[in-house]
Structure 1
Amino acid sequence: MTKKLHTYSLVTFLLIFSVLTACKEKNSINQPVTSEEEKDTVPVLMTGEGEMPTTWIDKTTGHQLKKLTSEGNNRSFYFHNNPFVKAKNGKDWLMVFYKNSKKGNQLYSINLTTQEQKAITTQPGKKRGEIVGTKSRKVFYTLNDSVFATHIDTQKTDFIKKLPEGVSVGTNTLNASEELLGGVVATEEEAELFRNNPKKSDYFNLIYEAHLPRYLMTINVETGKLTKLYRENAWLNHEQFSPVDPNLLMYCHEGPWHKVNRIWTYNLATGDTTLIHKRTVHREIAGHEFFSPDGQTIWFDLQIPRGETFYLAGKNIHTGEETRYQLERNEWSIHYNISPDMKTFAGDGGDRSQVAHAEDGQWIYHFTPNGTELDSEKLVDMSKHNYDLEPNVHFSPDGKWIIFRANFEGDTQIYAVKIEKHKA
């Protein structure tokens, strides 16, 4: 009798465990809704028409969406800043994001499997920068006049550096060895121009035309030492370290894209600067550049000339070979991104006010290379989204979902759309 009771207890435990595991997987953005019963319960809705449920099928595209955040205003990272790090269990993935609160914006993590959210920062004030160290498991950011790092799991915060007074300065990237933060140092004169002209439409040409000195710089995360690397009387911006080479820093000449040869790299070991793409015709533009995950290619939006012919282009930094995939006007996106396996791309579309002036461009796209072109698939109807907020697409670490931010419900929230079309 005792042996039977023990057998029944074991069976009961295994049944409960399997149910809990199934529930966990069902809530994960990495798991499709598979059972027939669950398929029937997922509503088919026009995206952005009223408050959206946690999960729905976009009526226009047939793709499944999940709402990852719901309270207050929440923002995912800028398109080329990696937000992902493995959870402590080594299996799940965490995504770091910004949540607005009464104490200013705070950095949070969300477990993409369990949907559990945890605060990383709590100190009041606006944080700037969005840098995740996947090895150190720290988030680096600027608060007021200083740079800090907070551990994702323990929330232990380290002071790194008090920034120089009276200048415009910021850190925007972390090198592959996670020893150096990269950024720029400007002048008090430039900082004053920004203060007096807070809107981008006001300062953009002013800063470009001023030709004030800027330095590329690094900050050692252990010692706090600030090193000025390279100076130009130009608006140096958009700094990104290579994901694999700790000595390679990409930066841009900011300003009106049709007036600048924008994309450059700087080698910390040699001091060499390299132009990635040189304009060839009047009003040609190249920008919104980003590294491939293997660090071999720099991808960018290329238009020859501006607003007429559209490409997603990539330059191999070792061979110099340039790849171009042509897109239709409506397929042009403010930002593109590349999948973890580097086989496909995503785009966040754009409204009529953007450079492409697309009549039907408000979509989240998935792109697949086909010869010299990209085949596109519309994933999310973004017609209810105000593109003053750029969606900034990211592939999920498993490559099955595209994560973006949107305001089609009023507040800004973070969503994920499944690349594989929902099977009715």
Structure 2
Amino acid sequence: MLCVALHALASAQTDEPPREWIDPATGHRVVRLSNEPGSQSLYFHNYPFSADGRKMAFTVNRGISCVDLVTREVAEVVPGPVQLLMTGRKTGDAFYLQNGQVKAANLDTHETRVVVDLPEQFRAKMSEDAIERWRRRAERNGWPPPTPEMLRSFGWGNIAINADETMVVGIGSDPDGQEQPRTPPDGSQPVGGLAPRWASGRPLVLYTVDVASGEARAIHHSHDWLNHLQCSPTDPEQILFCHEGPWHFVDRTWIIRADGSGLTQVHPRTINMEIGGHEFFGQAGKWVWYDLQTPRSMVFWLAGYEIETGARRWYHLTREQWSVHYNVSPDGKLFCGDGGGPGSVANRTANNEEFDTPQNGQWMYLFRPEDGRREGLRPDDRQLIEYGEFHAERLVDLSQHDYDLEPNGIFTPDGKWIVFRSNMHGASHVYMVEVAKAE
């Protein structure tokens, strides 16, 4: 323990984050996986692991790298500029976007291949301001100046890969649609945050691209702001997405089949200012989980919806335990959360005012669910919501973390570690924390 602490102190004195330490506030081992400042793990629902679970893809300023979770060796996989999407559930290859194509790279050999050409008709036009921002970023990172071909990497919206890697799913601009502007529910003008984009009523389309044939097919048209696209980890035909915007404006979480059938609203709201979001699939693909507040900033749950039966289960959390994002272990027995910053809903009253004494919790959390009593629930009754509570364990002290960068925790395939990203030592890096306490 003393050696680890001295190593952490020495690293801090040289402005390099420690490579490994025992968090003194929690007793859990934390490991820095990345070497380069600016490295980041993927968004919490984007799968990053190889097929054997040994390697993990992540982003660096210069492109895509991977780390061997056993040896901790880091290797460059694809030089930038590229956008890492996820790894495939079947091959474990890293899927990424480059120049209007979805490509894949093998994490062992680093060989690359073209998967599909994305349909140009669904790409949104890139503004001159956005092009100029990209030019400045390219100059900072030593990348070549953006060419017309390179700019085809932008304007695609969400892109996901289905479970057997036979289909690419995307959200794009609907070339045949017209804007349908709208006003907030109270009739006011949309100001700040997500409201103006929500109010634009921009036409969007959810589409699929068959990998074998390259055929693109629109499956859902909408003037709602479609976002947060995911494919089931097990069912190649199941898609999850959201209606984005201020959460109290929208009926957010939806599922749909890949042929456009089965459009289902996952959570109907019943309370004014009730919000739900940051939805994700359980690892077995049978449940959709999401942050639920009934109403916002007052009562906190992680809510679950069983796709096949429509059954619901809600786990209660305290205010301090609320997290920007949650995730679930591969065996479905544990959950994790990444806490929240001082500007989060956990630190606000029902009237959206910050508490005088902060109420948010800045920790990486482990949650052990406990189901509630079933005495009032008939075995065949799917109309009543089953309930339970989370028992929380703190894993990593994030008091020095700036939540402008969301930590985005995800369990490793063996369930023994939780990977997250953090700027708690300054620049962003990729870390993992051991689920079991250090001996």
TM-score (norm 1): 0.81
Quick one: structure 1 residues 129 and 113, their matched pair in 2 at CA, closer, same or farther if it must change by over 3 Å? closer
Counting only pairs closer than 5 Å after superposition, residues 91-240 of structure 1 correspond to structure 2 as 93-101=54-62, 106-122=63-79, 124-125=80-81, 127-159=82-114, 160-164=116-120, 167=124, 168-187=155-174, 204-240=194-230
Supply the distance in 2 between the matched residues of 1:218 and 1:393 (Cα, whole angstroms).
Answer: 28
Quick one: structure 1 residues 409 and 363, their matched pair in 2 at CA, closer, same or farther if it must change by over 3 Å? same
Quick one: structure 1 residues 78 and 205, their matched pair in 2 at CA, closer, same or farther if it must change by over 3 Å? same
Supply the distance in 1 between the matched residues of 2:211 and 2:27 (Cα, whole angstroms).
Answer: 46
Quick one: structure 1 residues 100 and 153, their matched pair in 2 at CA, closer, same or farther if it must change by over 3 Å? same
Segments of 4+ moved more than 3 angstroms: 44-52, 187-190
1:79 aligns with 2:57: no
Deviation at 1:86? 3.6
Supply the distance in 2 between the matched residues of 1:206 and 1:189 (Cα, whole angstroms).
Answer: 22
Deviation at 1:306? 0.6
SS of residue matched to 1:43 = helix
Supply the distance in 1 between the matched residues of 2:284 and 2:12 (Cα, whole angstroms).
Answer: 36
1:408 aligns with 2:424: yes
Counting only pairs closer than 5 Å after superposition, residues 64-75 of structure 1 correspond to structure 2 as 64-75=29-40
Deviation at 1:178? 0.8
Amino acid across the alignment from 2:418: I
1:130-179 C-alpha deviation (Å, 9 max, x unpaired): 12113233222222433322232333322321541662423421111210
8 Å CA contact 1:128–1:143 kept in 2: the answer is yes
Supply the distance in 2 between the matched residues of 1:393 and 1:270 (Cα, whole angstroms).
Answer: 31
8 Å CA contact 1:241–1:248 kept in 2: the answer is yes
1:197 matched residue in structure 2: none
Q: Does 145-154 or 289-298 show the bigger shift?
A: 145-154
Deviation at 1:323? 0.5
8 Å CA contact 2:89–2:164 kept in 1: the answer is no
8 Å CA contact 2:51–2:91 kept in 1: the answer is no
Amino acid across the alignment from 2:5: P
Amino acid across the alignment from 2:307: I
SS of residue matched to 2:403 = coil
8 Å CA contact 2:219–2:259 kept in 1: the answer is no
Amino acid across the alignment from 2:92: R
Amino acid across the alignment from 1:405: R
Amino acid across the alignment from 1:410: G
Supply the distance in 2 between the matched residues of 1:270 and 1:351 (Cα, whole angstroms).
Answer: 38
Quick one: structure 1 residues 269 and 147, their matched pair in 2 at CA, closer, same or farther if it must change by over 3 Å? closer
SS of residue matched to 2:342 = coil
8 Å CA contact 1:395–1:401 kept in 2: the answer is yes
Quick one: structure 1 residues 129 and 71, their matched pair in 2 at CA, closer, same or farther if it must change by over 3 Å? closer
For these two proteins, the number of residue pairs brought into alignment is 367
Identity of aligned residues (%): 39
Supply the distance in 2 between the matched residues of 1:66 and 1:377 (Cα, whole angstroms).
Answer: 18
8 Å CA contact 1:176–1:244 kept in 2: the answer is yes
1:313 aligns with 2:278: no
Q: 1:56 aligns with which of 12, 21, 28?
A: 21
Amino acid across the alignment from 1:385: H
2:5 matched residue in structure 1: 43
8 Å CA contact 1:351–1:387 kept in 2: the answer is yes
SS of residue matched to 2:331 = coil
Quick one: structure 1 residues 222 and 153, their matched pair in 2 at CA, closer, same or farther if it must change by over 3 Å? farther
8 Å CA contact 1:48–1:385 kept in 2: the answer is no
Supply the distance in 2 between the matched residues of 1:110 and 1:214 (Cα, whole angstroms).
Answer: 36
8 Å CA contact 2:410–2:418 kept in 1: the answer is yes
SS of residue matched to 1:409 = coil
Quick one: structure 1 residues 360 and 210, their matched pair in 2 at CA, closer, same or farther if it must change by over 3 Å? closer
Deviation at 1:41? 2.8
Amino acid across the alignment from 2:20: T
Structure 2 segments unaligned to the other structure (5+ residues): 125-154, 180-190, 348-357, 372-387
8 Å CA contact 1:137–1:153 kept in 2: the answer is no
Quick one: structure 1 residues 246 and 132, their matched pair in 2 at CA, closer, same or farther if it must change by over 3 Å? same
Quick one: structure 1 residues 257 and 384, their matched pair in 2 at CA, closer, same or farther if it must change by over 3 Å? same
Supply the distance in 1 between the matched residues of 2:176 and 2:23 (Cα, whole angstroms).
Answer: 49
Structure 1 segments unaligned to the other structure (5+ residues): 1-38, 193-200
1:24-78 C-alpha deviation (Å, 9 max, x unpaired): xxxxxxxxxxxxxxx5532276998964421111111121111111323210011
SS of residue matched to 2:37 = coil
Quick one: structure 1 residues 187 and 217, their matched pair in 2 at CA, closer, same or farther if it must change by over 3 Å? closer
8 Å CA contact 1:310–1:329 kept in 2: the answer is yes
Supply the distance in 2 between the matched residues of 1:311 and 1:291 (Cα, whole angstroms).
Answer: 16
Deviation at 1:218? 1.1
Question: Which has the larger strand fraction?
Answer: 1
Higher CA-based Rg: 1
TM-score (norm 2): 0.78
1:339 aligns with 2:329: yes
